[in-house]
Amino acid sequence: MKQPLAYVHPAAKIHPSVIIDPFVTIEQNVEIGEGTRIGSNVTIMEGTRIGKNCTIFPGAVLGAVPQDLKFQGEDTVAIIGDNTVIRECVTVHRGTASKGKTVVGSNCLIMAYCHVAHDCVIGDNVIMSNATQVAGEVVIDNFAIVGGGTLIHQFCHIGPHVMIQGGALINKDIPPYVKAAHEPIAYCGINSIGLRRRNFSNETIRDIQDIYRYLYLSGLNFSDAIERIEAELPASKERDEIILFVRNSKRGIIRGYV
């Protein structure tokens, strides 16, 4: 249902059940799935794909061209998954030739004034609190929670089930299952409360704690700690995920809090 004061390009593909409030602008080459609501004064630009049952609050701008001087008008997209809430004045830019797309997953809550730059990949069930600013080509994995006012440097990788303090300045990768806080940003233990809420068993939580004792409390460098973890701790999904994350980190992982 479109209000008469909204502009919708005739080539946009919008499910008949979508509610479009007044003063919305929707450009061509846009797709919006069933059950979604678009609040007033939202601008949805060319190349945007929005899933089912999303709520886009007033003032959001989705699919704007990247703030990247290398962008040459490539045919790229910005994708929003199903059941995601985009709050007031959020900006999500579409991709560049580097990745071709910016992705915000399903069941996410992106709070007011957040920015998601070109070629980012935000996983499912992610919460980004107010005014979080995410630079280009950042990856945030499933179930991560990012505190308000956080600044994330380009190319950083934030692992799944991470909890990040508000106002953090992030310039390193943050491995899975941990809490990160302080300035400079540092490891502050595992996110045990969040893991229990997501039905991780006490045994699994203890195993994750053992892994991070090797990484942060043993006095070993990260490479030696990983070798000890592989040699001395039993294989598990969580163990192998942490090992892979650390070995593949391009920016290096955060240090322990001193």
118 included as an active-site residue: yes
Among candidate residues 123, 136, 147, 159, the one labeled active-site is 136
% of the chain exceeding 90 in pLDDT: 98
Q: Which helix (H) or strand (E) holds 151?
A: strand 151-152
Confidence of residue 2 (pLDDT cuts 50, 70, 90): low
Do residues 213 and 232 touch, judged by C-beta distance below 8 A?
A: no
The rounded distance, in Å, linking the Cα atoms of 37 and 217 is 49
* Distances, alpha carbon 156 to alpha carbons 12, 55, 240, in Å: 34, 28, 20
The pLDDT of 138-156, averaged and rounded, is 98
The rounded distance, in Å, linking the Cα atoms of 151 and 115 is 10
Q: What is the pLDDT of residues 229-253, one digit of tens each?
A: 999 999 999 999 999 999 999 999 9
- What is the pLDDT, as a whole number, of residue 257? 82
- What is the pLDDT, as a whole number, of residue 114? 98
In this structure, what token pair is assigned to residue 24? 């919305």
Q: What is the pLDDT of residues 179-231, one digit of tens each?
A: 999 999 999 999 999 999 999 999 999 999 999 999 999 999 999 999 999 99
Among candidate residues 82, 119, 141, 173, the one labeled active-site is 119
Among candidate residues 118, 123, 147, 159, the one labeled active-site is 118
> Residue 65: pLDDT above 90?
yes
The pLDDT of 84-112, averaged and rounded, is 98
Do residues 214 and 225 touch, judged by C-beta distance below 8 A?
A: yes
